[in-house]
Amino acid sequence: MKLTPGALLDAPKYYNDIGNGLYNTELTVVLRDLQLENDNDAMPAVLAKYLPTATHILDFTNNELSAIPDLRTQASISTLLLSRNRIFKVDGYCLPCHLRSLTLANNGIAKLEDLQGLSNSPKTLQNLVLRGNQACYLEDYRLCIISLVPQLQALDFTKISDEERQKARLFRLSDANNKKEPKQHDDHKDTLDKETEIMNIVVNKMDTDVRANLKKQLANATTLDEMERIEKLLSGGV
């Protein structure tokens, strides 16, 4: 289903209590459980025109989204909820420019490479939830995320420690060095391969009679020099 003006206008909206009810300033717009799909044309236009300008929390939980919607122009959104969708790759460019909290739990993110786009996230992002994605169980998962979003304060509801930050810096440096290090070219191996190729060509070009004659000469050879010469011919080293 595509996001329509009617769906957005009819979406439940409420204010979150802040300061034990003293302030009701965070407007939440709920667009969950609507089977919404990505539409690069209609969705940004509908959100730009019909989403209340004071929206602080936008809830897209439990839909059919395959990518983060383009919300770059939604400056008021501080919390984005995208759990239980079909998102396989994160593109930080699409996130609201002042986003502080992002939830992407239980999506289809399987590889750390699919999270590299987090490096383009707003510098305001402090809380990130990725639980329920396969990538969470990979080695160096937390270090990878912290290195991509160094200003992050909490990951998967766990505060990031100073020790993790130090390890993440080392992880980032190590990863950068691995990417820069060129693959060494083995010239010696290339030479051997070329010699082997030439030898095979020479040997294959010998007809059966020639090889049989050389083998006969080798069997009747009486000196070491003669034996080496014939063996060299047979091996293709002419």
For residue 23, pLDDT over 70 is answered with no
Q: What is the pLDDT of residue 198?
A: 46
Give yes or no: residues 50 and 128 share one domain.
Answer: yes
Q: Are residues 77 and 149 in the same domain?
A: yes
Number of compact structural domains in the chain? 2
Question: Are 157 and 192 in a shared domain?
Answer: no
Going by C-alpha positions, the residue among 38, 75, 43, 82 that lies closest to residue 59 is 82
The confidence score (pLDDT) of residue 199 equals 47
CATH number, domain of 170, equals 3.80.10.10
Do both 52 and 166 map to the same domain?
A: yes
Residue 232 reports pLDDT greater than 70: no
Structure tokens at 216: 């006969």
Give the domain extent around 162.
5-180
> What does pTM read for this prediction?
0.72
60 shares its domain with 96 = yes
Q: Are residues 92 and 115 in the same domain?
A: yes
Question: Do residues 122 and 12 share a domain?
Answer: yes
Helix segments in the chain, DSSP class H: 5-10, 42-50, 141-148, 162-180, 187-205, 208-220, 224-235
Same-domain pairing of 155 and 210: no
Q: Are 61 and 83 in contact (CB under 8 A)?
A: yes
Q: Do both 197 and 139 map to the same domain?
A: no
Same-domain check for residues 165 and 192: no
Q: Give the mean pLDDT of 24-28.
A: 81
The answer to whether residues 193 and 126 belong to one domain is no
What mean pLDDT do residues 107-117 have? Answer: 96
> Tens of pLDDT along 54-69?
999 999 999 999 999 9
Q: What is residue 173's predicted lDDT score, i.e. its pLDDT?
A: 82
Mean pLDDT within 97-120: 97
Considering the domain architecture, whether residues 100 and 73 belong to the same structural domain is answered as yes
Average pLDDT, integer, range 167-195: 63
